[in-house]
Amino acid sequence: MYITRIKLEQFRNMEEIELYPCPGINVIYGDNAQGKTNLAEAIWMFTGAKSFRGAKEKEMLRFGSEQTKLHIEFWGGDRHQSADLHIRNQKTAYLNEIQLESATKLAGHFYAVVFSPTHLSLIKDGPAYRRKFLDTALCQIIPKYEANLREYHRVLDQRNALLKDLERFPQLSDTLDIWDQHLAKCGAWLLYCRAQYVKRILPMACEVYTGISGEKETFFMELESSIGADADLDREQLQKLFAEKLRENRSNDIQKRSTSCGPHRDDLDLRVNDLPLRLYGSQGQQRSCVLALKLAECAVIEELTGESPVILLDDVMSELDSQRRSYLLNRIKGRQVFVTCCDQESVQLLEEGRTFHIDCGHLLDEEA
């Protein structure tokens, strides 16, 4: 899968911009706050997901504009296709000029993997960011994952509300069994998907990290389940185990008025050279880890869907040494990559591909 044409109108600081990327590596360079990340964000929107910057629709409109229009032409599904997004108060999506029910319906037609500085939260911050990494990846490869995740959190909210009400209405305690049963069923499905994904992505991430580090460092990760689940358990076994843990923790949950175990408490243990990355990893190691996970995510999408997703690497050069930069730019073969950076020194490492210079939301030049 690769993009052949991009056209953006009234998007953030861009009045109108059009470019024709190559199927390989495309470097977008320019000073800070000129529009490089905006371009990466626009491409990501065609996955059917929300902005990776957490932006609302109205924040994407250029100042003074009432509507923004995004258009791409791409090769995917063994044919040339086009997709459009019109953003006003809400998003309207088109695939091959046919309007879709919602923008989320673009998922499964266009695939991308993005890494921006905000993704460093995966390493630095709490477990919620690592769970989000897993969930975002799984939403692209398992169509019903997002719906099941929403249902799990709906049931979880209901159970937590019930736990808070039990002090005033103790007679409601009998209904906990019903919510526990539903929560265990929904949660077991999520736990199984996450465990299988980690198992599948681990060898790929290790291989990529070893390459980025010049074979000087080793990487490892493991899913830490709050119910003590083993990675080899099937969904039925996970449901039984989760239900047992809910019963064991019921008194504690009632006292604390919240559910103490489940997928919402999962975490990822990330290590380099057998040391916890969050505590001991350098900035360069942390970025290399996220890059390895993202590139492995890309490989999993390709393996499961038969499509090679577009890779978006937003401002990842500042914390990588020259060896890691060289690996990133010149050793990623067979995929379309967009790399944004501030300095032309990074561009000079490019052995093949295309470069684009963006300034104040305008494309100044294009170089092969």
The CATH number of the domain where 261 resides is what?
1.20.1050.90
106 and 134 part of one domain = no
Query: What's residue 313's pLDDT?
Result: 87
86 and 161 part of one domain = no
Please indicate, yes or no, if residue 300 is contained in any of the structural domains.
no
Please indicate, yes or no, if residue 32 is contained in any of the structural domains.
yes
Q: Which residue has the tokens 């999993």?
A: 300
Distance, in Å, from the CA atom of 206 to the CA atom of 202, rounded to the nearest integer, reads 6
133 and 268 part of one domain = yes
Please report how the helices 235-248 and 176-212 are oriented relative to each other, as an axis angle in degrees rounded to 10.
120
Task: Reduce the DSSP state of residue 270 to 3 states and report it.
Answer: strand
Distance, in Å, from the CA atom of 234 to the CA atom of 317, rounded to the nearest integer, reads 41
Buried b / exposed e across 68-98, counting CB within 10 Å, b at 16+? bbbbbebebeeeebebbbbbeeebebbbeee
Please report how the helices 127-141 and 176-212 are oriented relative to each other, as an axis angle in degrees rounded to 10.
90
Contact 140, 111 (CB under 8 A): yes
Distance, in Å, from the CA atom of 339 to the CA atom of 345, rounded to the nearest integer, reads 13
Query: What's residue 281's pLDDT?
Result: 87
State which H helix or E strand residue 44 sits in: helix 36-44
Q: Provide the token pair at 100.
A: 């879709």
240 and 338 part of one domain = no
160 and 102 part of one domain = no
Please indicate, yes or no, if residue 62 is contained in any of the structural domains.
yes
Distance, in Å, from the CA atom of 157 to the CA atom of 176, rounded to the nearest integer, reads 13
Contact 317, 350 (CB under 8 A): no
Give Dmax (Cα) for the chain.
Answer: 73
Please indicate, yes or no, if residue 116 is contained in any of the structural domains.
no
Of the candidates 317, 310, 244, 250, the residue with the CA atom closest to the CA atom of residue 287: 317
pLDDT tens for the chain, 368 residues: list them.
999 999 998 888 888 899 999 998 888 888 777 778 889 999 998 987 777 876 677 778 888 788 899 999 999 988 999 999 998 878 889 999 999 988 878 888 899 998 887 787 888 889 999 998 999 889 888 878 888 999 999 999 999 999 988 777 777 777 888 999 999 999 999 999 999 999 999 999 999 899 888 888 999 999 999 898 888 889 999 999 999 999 999 989 988 999 999 999 999 999 999 999 989 888 888 888 988 898 899 889 999 989 999 999 888 776 667 777 777 766 677 789 998 888 666 556 566 678 888 888 878 765 54
Please indicate, yes or no, if residue 59 is contained in any of the structural domains.
yes
220 and 140 part of one domain = yes
Q: Which of 272, 292, 325 is the last residue of a domain?
A: 272
Please indicate, yes or no, if residue 296 is contained in any of the structural domains.
no
Can you say how many angstroms the Cα of residue 310 is from the centroid of all Cα atoms in its chain?
Answer: 13
Q: What is the DSSP string of 156-220?
A: HHHHHHHHHHTTT-GGGGGGHHHHHHHHHHHHHHHHHHHHHHHHHHHHHHHHHHHHHTTTS--EE
Query: What's residue 364's pLDDT?
Result: 79
Query: What's residue 342's pLDDT?
Result: 80
166 and 208 part of one domain = yes
DSSP state of 79: E
Of the candidates 78, 80, 106, the residue with the CA atom closest to the CA atom of residue 94: 106
Q: Which residue has the tokens 């009632």?
A: 254
pTM of the shown model: 0.84
Q: Which of 223, 257, 272 is the last residue of a domain?
A: 272
216 and 323 part of one domain = no
Please indicate, yes or no, if residue 280 is contained in any of the structural domains.
no
Q: Which of 213, 247, 272 is the last residue of a domain?
A: 272
**Which structural domain, as residue segments, surrounds residue 195?**
129-272
260 and 181 part of one domain = yes
Please indicate, yes or no, if residue 292 is contained in any of the structural domains.
no
CB neighbours of residue 163 within 10 Å: 21
CATH number (domain holding residue 19): 3.40.50.300
Contact 11, 323 (CB under 8 A): no
Type of residue at 122: L
Of the candidates 139, 144, 295, 287, the residue with the CA atom closest to the CA atom of residue 207: 295
Domain count for the chain: 2
193 and 322 part of one domain = no
107 and 136 part of one domain = no
- Angle of CA points 120, 268, 155, to nearest 5°: 105
249 and 149 part of one domain = yes
